[in-house]
Amino acid sequence: MSRTPIREAILRLKTEGVLRRAEEGHLVVREIGPDEIVEMYEVREVLDELAARLAARRITEPGLAKLRSANAKLLAAVGGGEVRDRADANIAFHDALFSASGNGFLREQANLVHRRLRRFPGTPLTDDARAREVHVEHEAILEALERRDEDAAAAAARRHIATARDTRIAGF
């Protein structure tokens, strides 16, 4: 293998904050602390809130169907389903929300934050009770979107991400 793809991969890992240069000059995997988690979730709260607000203006019936389907899959994976299925359904829900916003730039920024957050080990969705809560929180967002209520959708999305942050920090 040539050096170029390796160099590009290392550069990407440095850019995404996975690697840092140690005092001795070599690269090491960077540890993430609770403060950085809080910072990322603060940004995510605003991004999801804006996505929900825009989606309430622009969502189509197929967009609502994608959200409903993802949330139904999340609930179906609770109580015996695979944790990976829960996480995938949660990701699909948020992807569908950002798609429904109709703002490609917003979606790109959210993907950057989501990629970083996925670096954390495990998922709060391993807990059945939390997975059920996430389903209910998603339902609140969905109901507001169905009513085309921008304020309610934005508030529900922000509460959902704030709760996700608190859950993530409690498990850190």
Residue among 114, 136, 140 at smallest CA distance from 44: 114
Helix (H), strand (E) at residue 102: none
Task: Count other C-beta atoms under 10 Å from residue 147's C-beta.
Answer: 11
Domain assignment of residue 55, given as a range: 33-170
Does 20 lie in the same domain as 37? no
Does 95 lie in the same domain as 16? no
Residue with tokens 């998603």: 138
Domain count within the chain: 2
Residue with tokens 């690697």: 19
CATH of the domain at 112: 1.20.120.530
Does 72 lie in the same domain as 52? yes
Rounded to an integer, what distance in angstroms lies between the CA atom of residue 46 and that of residue 171?
22
pLDDT at site 122: 64
Does 52 lie in the same domain as 38? yes
Q: Is the pLDDT of residue 64 over 80?
A: yes
Q: Has this prediction a pTM greater than 0.95?
A: no
Does 11 lie in the same domain as 41? no
Token pair in block for residue 156: 């529900």
Does 41 lie in the same domain as 25? no
Q: What is the pLDDT of residues 84-121, one digit of tens each?
A: 899 899 999 999 999 999 999 999 999 988 888 877 76
Q: Is the pLDDT of residue 37 over 90?
A: no
Residue spans of alpha helices (H) in the chain: 3-15, 34-58, 61-76, 83-100, 104-117, 128-147, 150-170
Does 88 lie in the same domain as 26? no
Does 152 lie in the same domain as 72? yes
Q: What average pLDDT does the structure give for the chain?
A: 90
Q: Is the pLDDT of residue 45 over 90?
A: yes
Rounded to an integer, what distance in angstroms lies between the CA atom of residue 18 and that of residue 28?
8
Q: Are 123 and 29 in contact (CB under 8 A)?
A: no
Does 147 lie in the same domain as 90? yes
pLDDT > 70 fraction of the chain, expressed in percent and rounded = 98
Does 76 lie in the same domain as 13? no
Q: What is the pLDDT of residues 113-165, one digit of tens each?
A: 888 887 776 677 888 999 999 999 999 999 999 999 999 999 999 999 999 99
